[in-house]
Structure 1
Amino acid sequence: MNEGAGAAAVAAKKKLSAQFFKKGVFVAIMSGICYGLYSAFMTLGMTKGIWADWYGPNTAALSAFVITYLLGSLGSAINDTCSAVWALLIAGAKGKLGDFFRCLKTKPGWIMIAAALVGGPISSAAYVVGLQMAGSIVIPISALCPAIGAILGRVLYKQELNKRMVAGIGICVLSSFMIGSTSLGGDAPEGRLLGICIAFIAALGWGIEGCVAGYGTTLIDYEIGITIRQCTSGLSNLFILVPIFGIIAGNIGIAPHLTVQAFTSGPAMIFFVISGFFALFAYSLWYKGNSMCGAALGMACNGAFSFWGPFFCWIILGVICGIDGWSLPPIVWAAAILMIFGILMIAMNPLDLFKKKED
């Protein structure tokens, strides 16, 4: 009788673990979808208001360096700042602000801050610079972060990484490069090779962040963790990265001048507020998914942003707003299907779908 009860308890525990794992997969997939939405709305915001003047007829008023690097980092900084405000408002509404300030003084809190500094200004700067130097090919290169996170998760936390999961990660990476192959034409400026190398820095930084932050959110509430992350990223981008680019441009006053103009541009800020909302859930669900199903699977599911990004840019910018240049070629749709199969391989043995279910 005791043996029967013990077996039933073990079976129930396995069932709960499987349900928890599957929920983690769903959460990680949703993070990639939110990443695509925030990318689209942030890009839309950078076509409105004062941004339309900066990138439009008045371009000659700004140097090529300012347009290429400072404005890109400023857009990222405003998005992350709006996301941080959303995070604080939600934490306050749930009565978690006290926990937020207490966690800042703990070891897990410092882990989250360190992860945010690596994935925030460092990876964001590398991504922006790589994008400007090499074109949109850096998007799939940055999507190599799942492979990096999976390897680090195996080395640091002994998370499972069998041959099937490695093959699934490989398929996801291949799918990302298929998507990126659509931008291998002559649209990228000179310095493409250096830009691609710099993009690997972004992939490495995001791989480290996803792995470390996924571990950090097993120690503290993921909503507190993401609030720490977004506040750290927003403030460091706004008060460190943007001024550094201003100093490099040779005009120490240009950074605060452009920042004030950007924050007071109502038509653009509407879309930055929306993008910040989706950015909050892109990162919070990423962290939560990694903590629930492991860095390898969580980051592979999130890595589908290499499809969701172009997809939602096509829907929002191309279809809804009628902006040219956002249509998706057939290879992108084929890569999306292949990526779904890759994620399935990491999550489970596809052959199990054909096995007869047992009661």
Structure 2
Amino acid sequence: MSQNSKAVSLEAIAAKKKLSSSFFKKGISLALFSGLAYGVYTAFLTMGMTKGVWGDWYGKNTAALSTFVVVYLLAALGNAINDTCSAVWAILYSIVKGKFGDFLRCVNTKPGRIMILAALIGGPIASTAYVISIQMAGSIVVPISALCPAIAAILGKVLYKQELNKRMAVGIFICVCASFLIGSTSFVGGSISKDTFLGILIAILAALGWGFEGCVAGYGTAMIDPEIGICIRQVTAGIADLFILLPILGVMAGRVGISFELASQAFTSGPAMVWFILSGCLTFMTFMTWYAGNSMCGAGLGTACNGTYSFFGPLFCLLVLGVYGGMDGWSLPPVAWIGAGVMMIGILTVSMNPLDLFKGKNKEVDINETA
């Protein structure tokens, strides 16, 4: 082979490596953005549930609503409106991308049914539990709900016989320790309020649901376009929230019609719907960038980057609700912020070997030197 041919070959290899590196970095950026978007969505959704008619429901001059309705049905309603708005954004996006027909065709396929199952677990169950926990205990539950990657690793071992090595076990242990560290900040004078304790338990339920959803959805998106899969998930979650979960909670509250009455008032409350439309958009963007990031940098690293919402959630709740909204109770003690940071380290350790990040950097340097 001539010297010119060798030079061209080396240049081609270097160009390919550079392109792969750029693709990988873009995936990390998208996955990190998904964690940030999740934090903003949490703050916007919670803000929406303080505006308009929601202010009457949760305020001192509240209508004659039972404790069950205020604590559980209203939280489920807030999540239902958010998921419905997110579904509308997902449909609009599929239309713009020319994939709405593919969405309709994929719904009744095996991958589509798997995504529907994932949506039923993650929407009506996990997401509603997440909203309830925030209403009961505040932003302290956000990092605790971020246990879902660790839970997904355990469930993957149990359900699919996936690898659960020593590194992953260490990461899970770090996550659990971080959750206890965060939870310890709720103890005031050696005791914890009933609502805060229950909110933390419900946040763990949300983490369980999202962990299970991650196992199911990971299998489904391996066989379907992620953009179509996300559309199926969001539409299913919105429909299930509105027409399955809310009526069930209405029956539990003593009158099935109350869920539709409250939903009608909520959907026509302009000051609140502005925030729900924004939170729905951010919810859709969260899943879009998370799935896209996973496909570009790997599910492990993508999940770890998305897990940064354990930090961004409390941060944006503080900025939007505490600073902008002037509401008390949204600041966290320094120990909780440290716990959120430790949680991110644990998530990274579960998802991948942190040393690989430095190995990848070294390899990139070698490539550039070779070029």
Match of 2:62, SS? helix
Mean CA deviation greater in 8-17 or 175-184: 8-17
Partner residue in 2 for 1:45: 48
Q: Does 1:286 find its partner at 2:283?
A: no
Match of 2:50, SS? coil
Separation (CA, whole Å) in 2 of partners of 1:191 and 1:348: 34
Partner residue in 1 for 2:266: 262
1:307 to 311, 323, 326: 311
- Whether the 8 Å contact between 2:311 and 2:341 is mirrored in structure 1 is no
Q: Tell me how large the CA RMSD over aligned residues is.
A: 3.4
- Give the Å deviation of 1:286: 2.6
Aligned residue identity for 1:188 = S
- Whether the 8 Å contact between 1:176 and 1:307 is mirrored in structure 2 is no
Separation (CA, whole Å) in 1 of partners of 2:172 and 2:326: 35
Partner residue in 2 for 1:69: 72
1:85 to 64, 84, 88: 88
Percent identical: 62
Report Cα offsets for 1:288-346 as digits up to 9, x if no partner: 33444444433332222222111001111111222222223222443454455556653
The aligned runs of 1:124-203 (5 Å cut-off) are: 124-128=127-131, 138-153=141-156, 163-164=166-167, 166-168=169-171, 170-185=173-188, 186=191, 188-189=193-194, 192=197, 198-203=202-207
Report Cα offsets for 1:197-236 as digits up to 9, x if no partner: 5544322220121232233223222221111111100110
Separation (CA, whole Å) in 1 of partners of 2:293 and 2:54: 35
Partner residue in 1 for 2:237: 233
Match of 1:235, SS? helix
C-alpha spacing 1:260/1:91, structure 2 compared with 1 (3 Å):
same
Separation (CA, whole Å) in 2 of partners of 1:14 and 1:212: 33
Mean CA deviation greater in 231-240 or 213-222: 213-222
Separation (CA, whole Å) in 2 of partners of 1:280 and 1:22: 22
Partner residue in 2 for 1:27: 30
Mean CA deviation greater in 36-45 or 280-289: 280-289
Q: Which ranges in structure 2 are unaligned for 5 or more consecutive residues?
A: none
- Whether the 8 Å contact between 1:211 and 1:295 is mirrored in structure 2 is no
C-alpha spacing 1:131/1:271, structure 2 compared with 1 (3 Å):
closer
Separation (CA, whole Å) in 2 of partners of 1:11 and 1:154: 38
Q: Does 1:120 find its partner at 2:123?
A: yes
Q: Does 1:298 find its partner at 2:275?
A: no
Separation (CA, whole Å) in 2 of partners of 1:195 and 1:44: 18
Match of 2:185, SS? helix
Separation (CA, whole Å) in 1 of partners of 2:159 and 2:10: 33
Aligned residue identity for 1:44 = M
Between structure 1 and structure 2, the one with the greater Rg is: 2
Separation (CA, whole Å) in 1 of partners of 2:225 and 2:286: 16
1:95 to 91, 98, 115: 98
C-alpha spacing 1:339/1:133, structure 2 compared with 1 (3 Å):
closer
The aligned runs of 1:201-216 (5 Å cut-off) are: 201-216=205-220
- Whether the 8 Å contact between 1:246 and 1:252 is mirrored in structure 2 is yes
Aligned residue identity for 2:225 = D
